[in-house]
C-alpha cells in the first residue's frame, strides 16, 4: 500500500462499492429502456422496438454484458460490506458500533442513523467519533 489509510477512507470502501453497484444498475436500466418500448417495460413484457434481428441480437448481448457487470459490482459490494461488518462487530459492543454499522454497512446518512437507532443527532455525532477512534486503535489506522 502506498499510503496509510485513514479510518474514514477504510470505512468508505464499502460505500464506494455500493455507489459503483448503483451506477451500473442505473446504466443497465437506461440501456434496457433504450432497447425495449416503455409500455413493454411498464407491463413486464419485453417487446423489441426494432424488427432488425441483427440489431436485436447486438442489443441483447449489450444488455447481458451490462447485467454481468452490474452483478459483479453487486457481489463486490456485498463482500466489502460483509468484511466491514465483521470487522466492526469485532470491536467491543457499544452504541458506537451500532452507529458504524448503520452508517457504513447499511449506507444510512447520519440523520437516518439517528432516527433508526432512536437517539439524538448530537449524541450520534459524539458516539460516531468514539466509534471511529475505536476502529482506528484496533486496526492501527490514522484518524
Q: What are the domain boundaries of the chain?
A: 7-139
Task: Give 87-97 pLDDT, tens digit per residue.
Answer: 888 888 889 99
pLDDT along the chain (143 residues), means of 10: 58 82 89 69 54 63 88 88 86 90 88 95 94 85 70
Residue in the structure block whose three cell numbers are 448481448: 61
Amino acid at each position: 500500500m502506498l499510503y496509510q489509510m485513514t479510518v474514514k477512507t477504510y470505512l468508505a470502501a464499502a460505500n464506494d462499492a455500493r455507489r459503483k453497484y448503483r451506477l451500473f444498475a442505473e446504466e443497465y436500466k437506461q440501456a434496457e429502456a433504450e432497447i425495449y418500448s416503455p409500455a413493454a417495460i411498464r407491463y413486464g413484457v419485453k417487446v423489441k422496438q426494432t424488427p432488425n434481428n441483427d440489431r436485436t441480437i447486438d442489443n441483447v448481448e449489450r444488455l447481458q454484458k451490462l447485467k454481468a457487470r452490474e452483478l459483479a459490482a453487486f457481489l463486490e459490494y456485498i463482500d466489502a460490506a460483509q468484511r466491514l461488518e465483521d470487522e466492526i462487530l469485532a470491536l467491543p459492543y457499544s452504541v458506537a458500533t451500532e452507529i458504524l454499522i448503520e452508517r457504513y454497512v447499511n449506507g444510512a446518512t447520519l440523520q437516518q442513523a439517528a432516527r433508526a437507532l432512536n437517539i439524538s443527532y448530537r449524541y450520534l455525532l459524539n458516539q460516531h467519533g468514539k466509534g471511529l477512534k475505536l476502529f482506528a486503535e484496533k486496526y492501527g489506522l490514522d484518524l
